[in-house]
Amino acid sequence: MPAYRWMSEQMRSRIGSPPEADCQAIWAWYRWDGVRKKPDLRCPGHLPRGERGVRLELEYPRRHVLLSDFSLWHYVLNYWYLPSSEADGEAFETELAGRGLSFFEQKPLPHAKYHGAIVESWDRIFDPARHQSELADGKEQESIQATIWEITLDHVRNYRYFTAR
């Protein structure tokens, strides 16, 4: 839950407040597996096998959508430091180890300075073009997720029913 609360805070500061106080973020795909705009419904993982679903094609003004790199989002989910480079990551982990700390073992870190550095590092998920390294998927595999506050009929451009495989 901390990662999802963090993303909601980012949405509030970057695209504005939700239309209602108790709204939760809605996840969607902006780009899936490289150049594809739509997820491949033949792939597993969308829904439990055999369950029927619907894929919506949505259109939003850019100011109402927060885009982030899906693979880098896992750093937030796992409370990992997202380094700007391999050297940065090694230096941060070495500094932590010197203080008997590890973000792999302690979540959240009890030291405010290092906890803050971890949380601040997550901003890199919002600019994958700036953060192309061995950590991010290459453009041919990159998946960009979109978070939005609501879906209205005005946003729906197309839909397709499917049965999960």
**Contact between residue 22 and residue 28 where contact means Cβ atoms under 8 Å apart:** no
Q: Per the structure block, which two tokens stand in for 115? A: 């906890």
d(CA 66, CA 19): 15
Find the domain containing 31 and state its range.
2-163
**Contact between residue 146 and residue 29 where contact means Cβ atoms under 8 Å apart:** yes
Q: Inform me whether the pLDDT recorded for 130 exceeds 70.
A: no
**Contact between residue 121 and residue 48 where contact means Cβ atoms under 8 Å apart:** no
pLDDT value for 139:
54
Q: Is 72 helix (H, G, I), strand (E, B) or coil?
A: helix
pLDDT 10s digits, 143-158: 899 999 999 999 999 9
pTM of the complete model: 0.85
Grade residue 141 by pLDDT with cuts at 50, 70 and 90.
low
Total domain count, the chain? 1
Q: Inform me whether the pLDDT recorded for 136 exceeds 60.
A: no
Give CA separation, 23 vs 11, 26, 43, 44, in Å. Answer: 12, 9, 29, 28
User: Span 9-14, mean pLDDT?
Assistant: 97
pLDDT 10s digits, 89-101: 999 999 999 999 9
Q: Is 34 helix (H, G, I), strand (E, B) or coil?
A: coil
